[in-house]
Amino acid sequence: MTSKDISNGILGAIFKLTGIAILIYVLYLIKTVLVYILISLLLAMIGNPIVDFIKQKLKLKKNILAVVLTMLFYVMLISGFILLFIPLFVSQGQNLSLLDTKEFEKVFFNLINQVAAFLDSHHINAQDIYKKLNISSRLNFSIITSFLNSFINLLSSFSIGLASVFFITFFMLKDRRLFKMIFIKVIPDQHEDKILASIDKITHLLSRYFIGILVQLSIVFILYLIVLLIIGIDNALTIAFICAILNIIPYIGPLIANVLAIILTMLSFAGADFATVMLPNSIYIMIGFMIVQFIDNNISQPYIFSSSVYSHPLEIFLIILIGGFLFGISGMILAVPSYTALKVIGKEFIPENKIIRILTKNI
């Protein structure tokens, strides 16, 4: 090897590293667009079965009419959520942003004092616990109003992103065959059949999975709402919706939802007697939410998840657990879709493997 070959190799490596660095930088600059594309891809996965269902039931020859009807369904669904929840968020946000934080702090510590009095009546020294925790120095109530104002500002700019996502989703649904043909031109010919078969199966399974998640969240939302309405909590729709959305985070989300519901229940009864009003209602909420979570964890969630991606409930549990240990909350959320994709790829490329055969026997 001559010095010229070595120098050419070094220069080639430098150019490749420079190109990779530029690509990463460009992707960083357009990260918002990439997020729009990912959300649109998710909506397209959910929408593909809807488009096929509409075409089959209405016996439509043209794909575009089914796509338009699917997009109208999305618009009606999201508009319903906006009309239902945004006014509540806005009104509460305006009230708290105009609220004197000192007054809010006074209400909060009044609640703390009632809790302390209740504990003292049961021979538990609450003052020592209060001093050790040093709650007064740890809390900053101005953060609450700042967060709510930021949240309202975020909602005001939400329309641009929503319009972009809808535009991209429309063409992903309308021209999915065109995108598939372009992809075929790019992939290597020797692996074309296996790659295309993997993509079709992954798309089908993930479409079932995401639809299953929507069904699960709807069931949990209805059950949460029933519990809150029975107890008579203000803004029951908003609280039930937030707690249902938290169920996207497997296992940890329901625990957070339970704690959040109890806190919001106590705040909704601010000024009432702790022992006779706040504590009993909080206990009722906790028991009601635990029953809902028991139903979800043992009946609806395992059945929906395992049937949607053809995996055993124990298999799903272990994969979510491993994803959480390795990558935290994001790993728990993405564990099942990632694992499903890997199973499909394994079945297509190494079907003779004994472990792959066992894990993919139902796919």
Residue type (1 letter), 201: K
Give CB contacts under 8 A, 24+ apart, made by 314-318.
Answer: 315/359
Is there a domain that residue 283 lies in?
yes
- Rounded CA-CA distance 39/243 in Å is 22
Backbone φ and ψ for 196, nearest 5 degrees, come out as -65, -40
Burial 319-336 (b: 16+ CB within 10 A, else e): bbeebbeeeeeebbbebb
Is there a domain that residue 268 lies in?
yes
Residue 199 in tokens: 């993509």
Is there a domain that residue 165 lies in?
no
Collapsing DSSP states into helix, strand and coil, what is residue 113?
helix
According to DSSP, residue 362 is labeled T
Residue 324 in tokens: 């959480």
CA atoms within 13 A on the CB side of 270: 15
Is there a domain that residue 162 lies in?
no
Is there a domain that residue 231 lies in?
yes
Structural domain harbouring 200: 190-363
- Is residue 46 within 8 Å of residue 210, measured between CB atoms? yes
Dmax over CA atoms of the chain, in Å, equals 89
Is there a domain that residue 161 lies in?
no
Q: What is the pTM of this model?
A: 0.64
Total count of domains within the chain: 1
Count how many residues are written for the chain. Answer: 363
Residue pLDDT tens, the chain, 363 long: 566 667 777 777 788 888 888 988 888 888 878 878 888 887 887 788 888 888 888 877 778 888 888 899 888 877 776 676 665 555 555 444 444 455 555 666 666 676 667 666 766 665 666 565 555 555 555 555 555 555 555 555 667 778 888 899 898 888 888 887 777 777 777 777 788 788 788 878 887 887 888 888 888 999 998 988 888 887 788 788 888 888 887 778 888 888 888 887 777 776 667 667 777 888 888 899 989 888 887 777 777 777 777 787 778 888 888 888 887 777 887 788 888 888 888 888 888 878 888 777 777
Backbone φ and ψ for 235, nearest 5 degrees, come out as 55, 45
* pLDDT value of residue 155: 56
Give every CB contact of residue 104 below 8 A, 6+ residues apart in sequence: 96, 141, 144
* pLDDT value of residue 128: 63
Number of Cβ within 10 Å of residue 201's Cβ equals 19
* pLDDT value of residue 271: 64
CA atoms within 13 A on the CB side of 153: 7
Collapsing DSSP states into helix, strand and coil, what is residue 294?
helix
Number of Cβ within 10 Å of residue 280's Cβ equals 13
- Rounded CA-CA distance 88/2 in Å is 74
Give every CB contact of residue 92 below 8 A, 6+ residues apart in sequence: 148, 235, 238
Residue 259 in tokens: 């704690």
* pLDDT value of residue 85: 61
Residue type (1 letter), 134: N
Collapsing DSSP states into helix, strand and coil, what is residue 270?
coil
* Cα separation values, 313 from 65, 131, 222, 336, Å: 38, 46, 23, 11
Is there a domain that residue 208 lies in?
yes
Is there a domain that residue 9 lies in?
no
Residue 236 in tokens: 């029951």
